[in-house]
Amino acid sequence: MKLLHVDSSILGDNSVSRQISAGIVEALKAENPGVEVVHRDLAAAPIGHLTGAYLAGQSADVKHDQALQEDLDLGGRALAEFLAADIVVVGAPMYNFAVPSQLKAWVDRILVAGKTFRYTASGAEGLVHGKRVVIAVSRGGTYEGTPASALEHQESWLKGVFGFIGLKDVEVIRAEGVAYGPEAREASLKAALDAAKALHAA
């Protein structure tokens, strides 16, 4: 069994989402002895954003210079890691109402027509099935069930992304209100870590 652990926070050890995603991985490792973990840190080793050259480079007719070939290889590895994983754990903090641009860049490399989805006469069809996806969400404010819910383009977007490619049963462990002061941060983080510890093998 393979587990892909993706982190995207730029805050290092001070990151709430990294602490939660690490707790999720530890719980799932305990439930799945022998699981092979691949950790992709998108802050330490960012994936470049999509370019016209990258998209054109998908064609065999396009001449690849070294930089383009390295970019294509990186995108290919990210996609291969994702496709090979049985479990995907994503650490996703909220930055200005959405996911970090580093995480968006990774998503752009795994949403590939013909690989993870396809368009048919009746619309889009997801091609990825049988993976467990757990998202560690952190955000400074509170959104669910509040007037600010219209500004939440983090958790809902990620659920939409994974659902689009066929993974509709996404688990979320959430820490909200972490910017409301030290006590609120500690309480929210503790609740999220307790939820992570309670995870069981699917």
pLDDT tens across 85-132, in order?
999 999 999 999 999 999 999 999 999 999 999 999 999 999 999 999
Does 180 have pLDDT greater than 80?
A: yes
Check whether 190 has a pLDDT greater than 80: yes
Residue 202 placed within a domain: no
Model confidence band, residue 142 (pLDDT cutoffs 50, 70, 90)? very high
Lowest pLDDT segment from 80-89, 139-148, 165-174, 183-192: 139-148
| Predicted pLDDT at 60 | 67
> Within 13 Å, how many C-alpha atoms sit on residue 27's CB side?
20
Binding residues: 9, 15-17, 94-97, 138-141
pLDDT tens profile 59-86: 666 677 788 778 788 888 999 999 999 9
| Contacting residues for 163 by C-beta, under 8 A, at least 6 apart | 126, 170
Residue 5 near residue 23 (C-beta atoms within 8 A):
no
Residue type, 69: Q
The residue assigned the tokens 């941060």 is: 185
d(Cα 92, Cα 5) in Å, to the nearest integer? 11
Q: Is residue 150 part of a domain?
A: yes
Q: Is residue 29 situated within a structural domain?
A: yes
Q: What average pLDDT does the chain have?
A: 93
Give per-residue pLDDT as tens, 2-34.
999 999 999 999 999 999 999 999 999 998 889
Average pLDDT of span 140-166: 94
For 161, the domain range is 2-197
pLDDT of residue 154: 96
Nearest to 18, CA basis, from 9, 26, 27: 9
Give the integer Cα–Cα distance in Å for 184 and 187. Answer: 5
With tokens 């290919």, the residue in question is 76
pLDDT at 200: 80
Q: How many other CB atoms are there within 10 angstroms of residue 174's CB atom?
A: 21
Per-residue pLDDT at 202: 58
Q: What is the CATH number of the domain that holds 123?
A: 3.40.50.360
Annotated binding site for FMN: 9, 15-17, 94-97, 138-141
The total of structural domains in the chain comes to 1
Is 87 inside any structural domain? yes
